[in-house]
Amino acid sequence: MKAIVLVISIFFLSLQATAQDNNVPTKWTLEACVEHAMDNNISIKQSQLDQENADISRSEAIGNYLPSLNGSLSNSWNSGLTQNVTTGILENQTVRNLSANATVGLTLFDGLRNLRTFQRAKLEKLASQYSLQLMKDDIALFVANSYLQILVNKQQLEVLNEQNKTTKEQIELTRKTVEVGTAPEGDLLEIQATDADEEQQIVVAQNNLRISKISLSQTLLIEDYQNFDIADEEYDIPLTDILSKTPEEIVEKAKQERYEVKVAEQDLEIAEKDIEISRSQLYPTLNGFVNYNTRESDRGRTVGGGIDPNDPTREIGIVEATGQAVIAPNFRIETAGPSSFFDQLARNDGYTYGLQVNIPVFNGFATRNQIKRREVVAKRAEFQLEQTELDLEANVYQAYVDAQGAAKAYEAAQKAVESQKLAFEYAQQRFEVGVSNAFELSQSKFRLTNAQNRLINAKYDYIFNIKVLELYFGIRVVEY
């Protein structure tokens, strides 16, 4: 039971928010309380965020299979000695250049890392679902315990009020007998003292009831403490055969049904998958890529101007044997403005494509050490799974013993109330005929009141312990 107590403590300390609901019931049933807790509890909302994280991890794992597309665009100005993009000659100039690139990359092989990452994401999703269900079960049990405590306090207050009503009637009867001289005044004083003591007990019981209501309303994140109340329901001992089963049967069922074991199992599988992911870094990776690029500039372009009429030929060399000059047509070089923007982009484009292989050779033992760390984490998860199973077994046996003890205590409390009722009736008869005094009567009533209160406690303690044991067997407190 230590695990349940710990969960209850953490859950109570985590209540730090407020809730507004204009359609809340005037009196809350247990089902309504549990449903409201499922919708508003902070711990459940945090577990739901864990599920969202798991969905994101799964989306990332799927994205690893898709090609990557990246683009770049730059526009720059160069001043001073720089290459003329038209002639290829270095000139002192100021020139503007625009370039654009787009690259598509695709992972062809990465040591199966993407596959194992995707498998890990599915395990993480399943683990978050189990954690959420575990949180819901524990919170439902906590709400049920708080709810039953209010019922205990309510019924104990009813017992005290009923007993005090009888005491006040006895005061009136005793006062009359004292006035006529058939009973000593001490009897009246004794009963009046009993009345004062009972009124004090009623005040304490009222405070206990108020505190238990406030506690549950805070658990449900309801601000209107004063008007919060639960429905006046009467819970009988549930008809169940859970105690007819052996602890071993319940333990085996709990290992199949309880989510703490499933969470520990998923944690172990995730740790083992992390080892596989780390080992994939020992393998080479193969990537394919395709790059498209183009450019544009504001520099003028060189165009043919025809043969220069003023100097139609030019010497380009001399024949060594004869000394004869070698001439060629002398064309004029003319420049024009830059081509249009889109025309340059179309004429200046190009493609680059290929494969890239990365081979891990040595990285200072980083990969090896990471694998070893993952193996340590996996071993720790294995021990945690074993400890979780041992804790679950111990909790089941404890719950089984508690339920058996609560059943016997409830049976004994029933017998005690029956005996004390007969004893009180007998004491009342003796007092009415003058055989006993008021002190003996008040003591008999005190013992009856205590027996009735113990019966109420025993009854709801038995109900709660049965619910705990049923929860281990896969039967929830309330279906949600």
In a domain, 478, yes or no: no
pLDDT of residue 233: 77
pLDDT of residue 291: 93
In a domain, 343, yes or no: no
In a domain, 480, yes or no: no
CATH code where residue 233 lies: 1.20.1600.10
In a domain, 441, yes or no: yes
Kindly report each contact of residues 249-252 with a partner whose C-beta sits within 8 Å and lies 24 or more positions away, as own/partner.
Answer: 250/396, 250/400, 250/469, 250/472, 250/473, 251/392, 251/393, 251/396, 251/397
The tokens for 15 are: 């209540």
In a domain, 301, yes or no: no
Q: How far apart are CA 468 and CA 396, in angstroms?
A: 9
For the cut 80, the answer to whether the pLDDT of residue 305 exceeds it is: no
Q: How confident is the model at residue 8 (pLDDT cuts 50, 70, 90)?
A: very low
**Residues of 206-222 as b/e, b for ≥16 C-beta within 10 angstroms?**
eebbeebbeebbbbbbb
For the cut 60, the answer to whether the pLDDT of residue 15 exceeds it is: no
For residue 371, give its domain range. 2-74+108-292+363-472
Number of domains in the chain: 1
In a domain, 83, yes or no: no
Q: What is the pLDDT of residues 107-162, one digit of tens each?
A: 888 888 899 999 999 999 999 999 999 999 989 999 999 999 999 999 999 999 98
Mean pLDDT of 14-40: 69
pLDDT of residue 98: 85
- On the 0-12 / 13-18 / 19+ scale of CB atoms within 10 A, 464 is buried
In a domain, 213, yes or no: yes
Residue 409's alpha-carbon distances to 103, 147, 414, 463, in angstroms, are 77, 21, 9, 12
Q: What is the pLDDT of residues 58-77, one digit of tens each?
A: 999 988 888 999 999 998 88
In a domain, 337, yes or no: no
For the cut 80, the answer to whether the pLDDT of residue 282 exceeds it is: yes
